[in-house]
Amino acid sequence: MEKTTKILVVDDDSGIGEMLKTLLEFYGYEVIVTEKPLLAEELIQQEKIDLVLLDMLISGVDGTDVCAGIRQNPEIGKTPVLMMSALHDAGPKCKAAGANDFIAKPFEVEDLTEKIEIILAAQE
C-alpha cells in the first residue's frame, strides 16, 4: 500500500488554505493547513510532512524566512518546499531561500499538482 503524501499548507488566508486542502484531498493527498507560519517547523516534525506549500506573504512573517528556517533545521531540512505568491518576481527570492520550486498565484490546480509530483519524484 502506498503511503499517502502529507502536505502542509501554510497560508494566512484561511479561505485559500481550505480551498487548497479540498482540492489537494481530491487528488488523494493528505493535507494539514496552518495559518501560523511559526508552527510550520513543529508541524513538519510532528506530522511527518512530505511537502510544504508555503505562501510567501504571510501576515507579519516573510515566507522566505520560514523556508530558510526549515532548511536550517537539521531534523527537517530536506523537506521539500513549494512556495507560492501573487508577486510576479517572487520566484528567484523563494528559490534563494531554499524553496524547491515556486508557483505564481493564481494558479491552476493541475499546474500545482504537477509541480508537487515533480518535486516528490526528485526526492525518491
3-state secondary structure of 30: strand
- What rounded mean pLDDT belongs to the chain? 95
Structural domains in the chain, CATH included, are 6-122 (3.40.50.2300)
Tell me the mean pLDDT in the region 46-56.
97
CA distance 62 to 42: 17
C-beta atoms surrounding 3 within 10 Å: 8
Please indicate, yes or no, whether the overall pTM of this predicted structure exceeds 0.85: yes
Task: Please tell me the predicted confidence (pLDDT) of residue 2.
Answer: 65
Tell me the mean pLDDT in the region 22-47.
97
Tell me the mean pLDDT in the region 82-111.
94
3-state secondary structure of 18: helix
The pLDDT confidence band at residue 50, using thresholds 50, 70 and 90, is very high
Look at 71 and 3; give whichever has higher pLDDT: 71
CA distance 35 to 13: 7
Task: Please tell me the predicted confidence (pLDDT) of residue 59.
Answer: 83
Cβ–Cβ < 8 Å for 3, 28: no
